[in-house]
């Protein structure tokens, strides 16, 4: 690796650390940690699922998952009800939970938009393309090896519009 690539790698790591800190600050303002937020965000996106589906997606054992869901339910962010099978619980994000996810996403997108707004449109586009290529090249089982959380594994169905509209505000 030449010096220029090494410097770019260090800058990418610094940017990733900023992203991580920004996300954690947003979660702290809602009294959430990353794993609980991931569950809440997932439930907000998929609608309804059961504990077994959540265990399959996130890989948590049953007791850990129940503790996390208990915490979210106490805050009024999710609801659970009995499913067709008496042993199954149907889980969904409440309106309050969906609002929390939206606030966090919008706040994060505003911060990111502010940082990226200082870049020329062409540079921003190239940056997005480069990140997409990095993710494609590292994808699959390599992400599992990195220990990334499920938040980064399941596909996003939408991005808050504020990410595109922030410059106009």
Specify the pLDDT at position 163: 35
The range of the structural domain enclosing residue 98 comes to: 3-168
**Distance separating alpha carbons of residues 140 and 153, to the nearest angstrom:** 9
Higher pLDDT among residues 61 and 153, named by residue: 61
pLDDT beyond 70 at 71:
yes
Label residue 139 by pLDDT band (50, 70, 90).
low
Cβ(120)–Cβ(111) below 8 Å: no
Higher pLDDT among residues 133 and 68, named by residue: 68
**Distance separating alpha carbons of residues 53 and 104, to the nearest angstrom:** 24
Specify the pLDDT at position 152: 47
Specify the pLDDT at position 66: 93
pLDDT beyond 50 at 145:
yes
Section 86-112 average pLDDT: 89
**Distance separating alpha carbons of residues 112 and 159, to the nearest angstrom:** 13
Specify the pLDDT at position 151: 47
Backbone φ and ψ for 20, nearest 5 degrees, come out as -60, -45
For residue 19, give every residue at least 6 positions away whose Cβ sits within 8 Å of its Cβ, in sequence order, or none.
Answer: 112
Tell me the CATH number at 76: 1.10.10.10
């Amino acid at each position: 690796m030449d010096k220029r690539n090494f410097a770019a790698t260090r800058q990418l790591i610094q940017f990733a650390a900023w992203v991580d800190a920004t996300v954690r600050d947003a979660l702290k303002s809602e009294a959430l940690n990353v794993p609980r937020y991931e569950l809440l965000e997932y439930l907000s996106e998929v609608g309804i699922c059961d504990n077994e589906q959540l265990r399959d997606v996130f890989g948590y054992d049953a007791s850990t998952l129940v503790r996390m869901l208990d915490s979210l339910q106490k805050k009024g962010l999710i609801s659970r009800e009995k499913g067709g099978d008496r042993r199954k619980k149907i889980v969904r994000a409440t309106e309050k939970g969906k609002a929390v996810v939206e606030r966090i996403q919008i706040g994060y997108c505003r911060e990111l938009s502010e940082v990226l707004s200082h870049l020329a449109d062409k540079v921003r586009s190239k940056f997005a393309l480069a990140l997409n290529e990095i993710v494609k090249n590292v994808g699959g089982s390599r992400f599992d090896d990195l220990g990334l959380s499920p938040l980064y594994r399941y596909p996003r169905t939408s991005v808050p519009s504020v990410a595109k509209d922030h410059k106009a505000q």
